């Protein structure tokens, strides 16, 4: 396989499938000399990875491919502040999460896993945090958190949370912050506040939020609706994908998205060079695609039937998830 870095311009690799790049100039500058530059995603520890996690993981893999160092923050303190349980419980799920990321394909030697509690409780960090608390309004912090916290009424911990993310970017010595689009307001807050403390502003890169599988609207959520995760068996995947909303178009009416196409675009094509749609002769025989655009175009034209697209999607997702699924099984035995 040709290294992606040679096959694609570094900038295109770094920004592919990104919903937003802040700012483009800053990222172009990074792309000009990516070696040794540090990028991160922070995750609240979870025992089971789902497609939302994997979307940002795909981006991290791109960045590794581009020559960057990747840091995964196992955000135990953040999870604690967001009411996710005791530190003990959070730690345990963090270890499971780490194992699944490695199984998924993040190069272990090139990926730095670090617990938030390893540095977020230091005196210097804490004093910086208090300084941020002093210069940030409640309103601003709450707005930054709105997408992240549940429907619950905001606690004091919730407004501290994004301020800590701001400091993480400095204390982890990063050059790029990565996150889903739901992290946008937090990163904007960070860009605004870091200079106030005398620190440098870093660029941010946001991945899209995949639409809900069954309705095609909003975002796929782990709390409600159908989520595809490392826990799913092959049969689960087939069933979930088959029940997905999938009109034969890339651009459904209204605000709706085609989640099946989105999964091809954001999860399958970035990890496979070639996709084979196995089709019985009565429907025209097998089809082969090496990029998302041609597959989407065929769905649009009717050449590719949604049912065949779904079967194929389930097969490839299964392949992506299989290593993590095995790892989970090991952990649990």
Partner RNA sequence: CCGCCCUUAGCUCAGACUGGUAGAGCAGUCGACUGUAGAUCGACUUGCCCCCCGUUCAAAUCGGGGAGGGCGGACCA
Give the interface with RNA as residue ranges (CB under 7 A): 153, 214-215, 224, 242-248, 260, 279, 283-284, 305-308, 310
C-alpha dihedral (263, 269, 272, 277), degrees to nearest 10:
70
In the complex, least distance from residue 310 CB atom to RNA, rounded to whole angstroms:
5
Q: Which is nearer to RNA, 205 or 314 (CB)?
A: 314
DSSP for residue 154: P
In the complex, least distance from residue 245 CB atom to RNA, rounded to whole angstroms:
4
Q: Nearest 5°: phi and psi at 154?
A: -65, 135
In the chain, beta strands by DSSP E = 20-22, 38-43, 69-74, 111-115, 176-180, 204-207, 275-277, 287-289
Q: Which is nearer to RNA, 23 or 243 (CB)?
A: 243
In the complex, least distance from residue 140 CB atom to RNA, rounded to whole angstroms:
17
In the complex, least distance from residue 206 CB atom to RNA, rounded to whole angstroms:
28
Q: Which is nearer to RNA, 101 or 292 (CB)?
A: 292
As a three-state string, the secondary structure of 69-108 is: EEEEEECHHHHHHCCCCCHHHHHHHHHHHHHHHHHHCCCH
d(C-alpha 39, C-alpha 263), whole Å: 24
Q: Which is nearer to RNA, 114 or 154 (CB)?
A: 154
d(C-alpha 99, C-alpha 108), whole Å: 10
Q: Taking Cα atoms as reference points, which of 297, 227, 223, 213 lies closest to residue 259? A: 213
Q: Which is nearer to RNA, 170 or 231 (CB)?
A: 231
Q: Which is nearer to RNA, 83 or 195 (CB)?
A: 83
In the complex, least distance from residue 238 CB atom to RNA, rounded to whole angstroms:
10
In the complex, least distance from residue 135 CB atom to RNA, rounded to whole angstroms:
24
Sign of CA pseudo-dihedral 242, 247, 251, 253: negative
Q: Which residue has the tokens 């649990």?
A: 332
Q: Which residue has the tokens 């309705």?
A: 215
Q: Which is nearer to RNA, 193 or 212 (CB)?
A: 212
d(C-alpha 94, C-alpha 260), whole Å: 30
Largest CA distance in the chain: 69
Q: Which is nearer to RNA, 245 or 292 (CB)?
A: 245
* No. of helices (H) and no. of strands (E), the chain: 14, 8
In the complex, least distance from residue 35 CB atom to RNA, rounded to whole angstroms:
44
Please give the structure tokens belonging to residue 173.
């010595």
In the complex, least distance from residue 147 CB atom to RNA, rounded to whole angstroms:
18
């Amino acid at each position: 396989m040709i290294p992606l870095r040679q096959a694609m311009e570094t900038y295109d690799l770094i920004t592919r499938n990104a919903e937003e790049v802040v700012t483009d100039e800053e990222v172009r500058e990074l792309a000009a000399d990516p070696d040794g530059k540090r990028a991160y995603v922070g995750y609240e520890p979870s025992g089971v990875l789902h497609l939302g996690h994997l979307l940002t993981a795909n981006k991290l893999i791109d960045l590794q491919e581009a020559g960057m160092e990747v840091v995964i923050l196992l955000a135990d303190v953040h999870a604690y502040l967001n009411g996710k349980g005791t530190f003990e419980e959070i730690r345990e799920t963090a270890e499971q999460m780490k194992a699944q990321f490695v199984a998924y394909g993040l190069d272990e030697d090139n990926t730095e896993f670090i617990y938030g509690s390893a540095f977020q409780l230091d005196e210097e960090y804490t004093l910086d945090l208090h300084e941020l608390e002093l210069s940030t309004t409640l309103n601003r912090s709450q707005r930054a958190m709105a997408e992240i916290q549940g429907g619950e009424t905001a606690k004091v911990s919730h407004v501290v949370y994004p301020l800590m993310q701001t400091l993480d970017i400095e204390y982890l010595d990063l050059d790029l912050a990565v996150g889903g689009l739901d992290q946008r307001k937090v990163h904007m807050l960070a860009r605004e506040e870091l200079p106030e403390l005398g620190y440098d502003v870093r660029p941010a890169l946001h991945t899209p939020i995949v639409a809900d599988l069954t309705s095609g609207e909003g975002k796929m959520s782990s709390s409600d609706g159908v989520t595809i995760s490392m826990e799913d068996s092959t049969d689960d995947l087939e069933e979930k994908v088959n029940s997905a909303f999938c009109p034969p178009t890339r651009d459904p009416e209204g605000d709706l998205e085609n989640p099946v196409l989105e999964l091809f675009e954001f999860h399958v094509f970035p990890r496979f060079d070639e996709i084979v749609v196995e089709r019985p002769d009565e429907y025209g025989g097998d089809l082969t695609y090496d990029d998302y655009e041609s597959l989407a175009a065929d769905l649009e034209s009717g050449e590719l039937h949604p049912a065949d697209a779904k079967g194929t999607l389930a097969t490839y997702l299964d392949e992506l998830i299989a290593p993590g699924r095995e790892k989970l099984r090991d952990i649990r035995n």
